[in-house]
Chain A
Amino acid sequence: MQSRKKETSMDKMNIGLAKRYRKERRFRLFGLAAVFASITFLGILFVSIAANGWTAFQQTEILLDVHFDTAEFDVDNLYSVNYGALVKNSMRSLFPEVKGRSDKRDLYRLMSSGAVYILQDMVMKDSGIIGSTQQIWLPADDEVDMLMKGHISRDVTEGDRRLNDKQISWVDTLVAEKRLEKKFNTTFFTAGDSREPELAGIRGAAVGSLFTLAVTLLLSFPIGVATAVYLEEFAPRNKWTDLVEVNINNLAAVPSIVFGLLGLAVFLNIFGMPRSAPLVGGLVLTLMTLPTIIIASRAALKSVPPSIREAALGVGASKMQAITHHILPLALPGMLTGTIIGMAQALGETAPLLMIGMVAFIVDVPGSVTDPSTVLPVQIYLWADSPERAFVERTSAAIMVLLAFLISMNAIAVFLRRKFERRW
């Protein structure tokens, strides 16, 4: 009787065991499938962005022999010189057979309208070149660029193309003469925004993002950590602190555009701060990221074993000493993680910045936190909204820059965490 009972219970257990293992395997399989699916989607995303965007790092340029004719510089002001004429003259000298006003105009259109500013800058920098002839690579128009990159098809009828047959034949001639080449697009990394795709760069938005994030970090990290320390270590547990806690948790879930409205009402209208400034953007994003940082920091503080606290107090450390010497160092990695998550959120945020005017078209690269500027996600939004075909690749390229920002921020976070964790 006894032994039979034992046997059956053992059998039962074995059946159950097999079931348990099956369940476990199934669960592992699901997990693996989920990871695989997300990696695949991420891969597709990256590949499509990179495929769209990498061409933006190249720009078609045309080699011109520009003669800085002394006759043209016969004025007092170097700004009022007709640089357009210089470009046009050298274009004509490449194709002397082109006659007729409309043909000439078509020829000039192969050149970017920004070429004149490049010549102007050269002269301003070194007036010694006046009178000489220089070989200069100047950016081609975005339509030529698109043709070179294969985005304009030669097969469609002339009327449906942005470039007519003559222009295409000139381009082919230039290519044959090695006067038209795709070169690395430095403009993209050194210029601000522009209406002309070939002159538009990411620098303005990137610097704007940097300034905005710097303001956000400088404000939200100390304030967030101080708040968390106060709430966790000093504040008495009562109705008021409960209320504060509930409100902080609620703030973390408030749509970000609300913070933008708040910023508009308070920082711009009441305090009269400048519009479109990274300073105000940083303030608004600080409001937005604070709840995240506070919640993460409190969790980090809570996870420090209470025995460490007691040990410090037990040898006669004051509360502040226990916190600064023992609790904060142990909680810091967790706090940093929370901060980086908050900063990554802030980096990708557009909505609240629209409210405070950071969506404007701004050509200059900002020099300080009070200069008008945009940020990377807003720039992406603006370019994605532009009709020119050449802005499509620039949109993808800007997304790549944004991702590079994010990845480097995460890398810094991992590095810092390692560094602080090594102190056991």
Chain B
Amino acid sequence: MTIAKREVTSLFFSPIAYIVMFLFLLYMGLVFAGLVFVPGQLTELRRLVDFSRFGLFFIVPLMTMSLFSDEYRSGRIEMLRTSPITEFDLLLGKFIGAMFFFLILLGLTLIHLTLLMIFGHPDYGQTFSCYLGLALMGMMFVSVGLFYSSCTQNQIVAALGSLLTLGFFTFSGGLSELIPGSTKIFEWIHSAMIYLSVGTHLEDFSKGVLDTSHLSYFLGFSAIFLFMTYLVLESRKWR
């Protein structure tokens, strides 16, 4: 918890955090303005969720790239490692810190939402489930980012790794269309890619439908990446 708190405070001191926040708000503002001028689209929360999804795919890697990489590069990892905290505490602290920042970021879009409420009449339940879906997706994205950050002391490499991975999860639904659906194996790959796509699982949330299979998708992948991060942290001891 101490780590998390420090992480959050230090994020607010780093220029990256403000750049991230600014970019995200700018992007969301543009999206929102775009939607406002298309009549009839305004109440379509689904569109907003879709655009948030693409925005977060760029933003989260920027947000998470330094979490471990910077500790390695600066040598502070030595200080953390020799403090009486376990690898698990360290990971949990970083994760909670990053999630907190992410939720603030997401919370900032409530500004847009408020406008939306003034102009249209969105369904509250649906709005809630949209945000829940985005928060769960954020959790998975943050876990992926943490994993890459724990692998390298180079922030750029960490950001690229998470971008590629998240890119796959974000676009695999679209990419799956490119696969010729002729043979069994291709069909299998096709459906696998659709399953892996974040969009597939976010869709129901944005319709206001809560489904445990989608919930387990996000939680499952978060857990997998967090666990892999844990393994990386443990194994780094052995170098």
Q: Are A and B a genuine interacting pair, yes or no?
A: no
Q: Taking beta carbons and an 8 Å cutoff, which residues of A are in contact with B?
A: none
